[in-house]
Amino acid sequence: MSDSTPAPIVAAREDGRRTLTEAEGKRLLASVGIETTRFTVCPDADAAVEAADEIGYPVVVKVSSPAVTHKSEWAGGVGVAVGLDDAAAVRSTATEIFDAAAERDIDAEVLVEEAADLDAGTEVIVGGVRDPSFGPVVLTGLGGVFTEIFEDTSHRIAPIDRAEARSAIEELQAVELLEGYRGSDPADVDALAAAVAAVGDLVVEQPIAELDVNPLLAATDGVIALDALVVLEER
């Protein structure tokens, strides 16, 4: 690997992994200027409580393991808990996660992060894949739980500049939500376009097979990644 390979990818390759943890994925996004929620990865329940106290309540607690890609569905739904308001809730959730990981013989930690105000913006998905026919492709669309329901996405062959990224965004049926629907505040579409272009660059420049930022919260004053899944190409 070259000196320009980001540290999260280097770490995964050295461990023989293709899947990055969420924390590694967010660090990769941060390296190209995409803001993420503040988070701490914790090895036990005591550390999770300390992290939550430092971050400030409410917090979100998630399982953190390269073996778990769909956290909200893992172990009967204990992989993600949102809106935790106190230390007792954090300790209980972290303990459940560690117990579930032990039952499944999985090495896991927990990720504690600040809880985002979802009402402050629109949830979108920004992703990238290395298509066998077209090569690097970047996509954007309505995110969160609506990604599969509405299937409203726009695709471009990467790399793209911000102007082309904005054009892709404006193709979406959901663009009215981003522009300010029925008096709501418009999202920062320029910041969203910059994030789309940055994801496209990552897929072009790095050995990435799949990258999903879902959701990315598009607010009035920028965008912030709430989750990240990165799968590397096979060697």
Domain assignment of residue 161, yes or no: yes
CA angle 230–233–235, rounded 5-degree value:
140
- Quick: pLDDT tens for 42-92: 999 999 999 999 999 999 999 999 999 999 999 999 999 999 999 999 999
Q: Is the pLDDT of residue 182 over 60?
A: yes
The owner of tokens 């992703």 is 127
Q: What is the reported pTM?
A: 0.93
Range of the domain at 110: 39-114
DSSP state of 68: -
CA angle 221–224–226, rounded 5-degree value:
150
Domain assignment of residue 25, yes or no: no
For residue 48, what is the domain's CATH number?
3.30.1490.20
Q: What is d(CA 174, CA 189) in angstroms, rounded to the nearest whole number?
A: 13
Out of 64, 91, 114, pick the residue that ends a domain: 114
Domain assignment of residue 133, yes or no: yes
**Which tokens hold the place of 149?**
């329901």
Q: What is d(CA 108, CA 99) in angstroms, rounded to the nearest whole number?
A: 10
pLDDT at 146: 56
Same domain, 133 and 202: yes
Cross-strand partners of 19: 231
**Could you tell me where the beta strands, DSSP code E, fall in the chain?**
39-42, 59-64, 80-84, 109-114, 121-131, 135-142, 153-157, 208-219, 222-225, 229-232
Same domain, 205 and 146: yes
- Quick: pLDDT tens for 92-118: 999 999 999 999 999 999 999 999 999
Please count the structural domains in the chain.
2
- CB of 191 within 8 A of CB of 223? yes
- CB of 162 within 8 A of CB of 143? no
- The pLDDT confidence band at residue 208, using thresholds 50, 70 and 90, is very high
Q: Is the pLDDT of residue 145 over 70?
A: no
Cross-strand partners of 153: 141
Same domain, 106 and 123: no
Same domain, 122 and 90: no
Out of 114, 148, 163, pick the residue that ends a domain: 114
The owner of tokens 């293709």 is 18
Q: Is the pLDDT of residue 196 over 90?
A: yes
Q: What is d(CA 208, CA 179) in angstroms, rounded to the nearest whole number?
A: 31
Q: Is the pLDDT of residue 213 over 90?
A: yes
- The pLDDT confidence band at residue 184, using thresholds 50, 70 and 90, is confident
Same domain, 99 and 161: no
